[in-house]
Chains A and B, each alone.
Chain A
Amino acid sequence: QKEVEQDPGPLSVPEGAIVSLNCTYSNSAFQYFMWYRQYSRKGPELLMYTYSSGNKEDGRFTAQVDKSSKYISLFIRDSQPSDSATYLCAMIDSGGYQKVTFGIGTKLQVIP
């Protein structure tokens, strides 16, 4: 079993839809949770970063972390064609540096 499970998709939604992406994890040592966006043939770029359980909002993006269920989510409101990319969930344990464990990534396509 992988430490981080993520549905690879692809996920196709119409423009303006609310998108829900999620990951589950098995390692209780994970303390920091992130979502990265990766466009084709580009490096990942950080979207959201959370430490504790709960919600964090940034514009159209909301990240949720439920440590008790080992489940994290990313919601995208009013999705745009420019949101079409692969979304990677990512986690760090409390080892003191950024040794990141990534999910497989979910490929999202927003149809105009």
Chain B
Amino acid sequence: GAGVSQTPSNKVTEKGKYVELRCDPISGHTALYWYRQSLGQGPEFLIYFQGTGAADDSGLPNDRFFAVRPEGSVSTLKIQRTERGDSAVYLCASSRTGEEDTEAFFGQGTRLTVV
């Protein structure tokens, strides 16, 4: 596609429920990143995939958060037992390679609201 696509754009869920957020990166991009942006804050790193493997998941806040990228393209961020504090915009980005000097392109984000 032309850019990074994230679905859904908005998700409202009840506390305690399970949610899945999807990211379709730019075709051919091997690196994929997830960030979380809370209201009035800058994005915070969650996880980095190089191909199918999670090369750095140090930003995942706890074991309720998990992400996969089984075929090295689409990625899904999974959140179990959602809490109100999980409410934020979840951003996905992809880049051609993972190297520092290649531009990462962001999607428009999924706005998650836990009620």
| A residues in contact (CB < 8 Å) with B | 4, 6, 8, 31-32, 41-46, 49, 51, 88, 90, 92, 94-105
Contact A98 B42 (CB under 8 A): no
Contact A99 B56 (CB under 8 A): yes
Q: CA–CA, A27 to B107, complex, Å?
A: 28
Question: A98: shortest Cβ distance to chain B, in Å?
Answer: 5
Q: CA–CA, A49 to B55, complex, Å?
A: 24
B112 at the interface (CB under 8 A from A): no
Contact A43 B45 (CB under 8 A): no
Contact B40 A43 (CB under 8 A): no
Q: CA–CA, A45 to B43, complex, Å?
A: 12
Contact B95 A98 (CB under 8 A): yes
Residues of B within 8 A of A88 (CB): 42-43
B79 at the interface (CB under 8 A from A): no
Q: CA–CA, A45 to B108, complex, Å?
A: 10
Partner of A102, one of B43, B102, B107: B43
Q: CA–CA, A18 to B48, complex, Å?
A: 37
| B residues in contact (CB < 8 Å) with A | 4, 31, 33, 35, 40-45, 48, 50, 55-56, 91, 93, 95, 98-109, 111
Residues of B within 8 A of A49 (CB): 101, 103
Residues of A within 8 A of B111 (CB): 41
The contact sample of 15 A-B pairs, CB cut-off 8 A, is A4-B42, A6-B42, A32-B100, A46-B104, A49-B101, A97-B56, A97-B99, A97-B100, A98-B33, A98-B48, A98-B100, A99-B48, A100-B35, A104-B40, A104-B42
Question: B92: shortest Cβ distance to chain A, in Å?
Answer: 8
Contacts A90-B42, A102-B42, A104-B42 known; 19 new A-B pairs at CB < 8 A: A41-B111, A42-B108, A43-B106, A43-B108, A46-B103, A49-B101, A49-B103, A95-B100, A97-B56, A97-B99, A98-B95, A98-B100, A98-B102, A99-B48, A100-B33, A100-B45, A100-B104, A102-B43, A104-B40
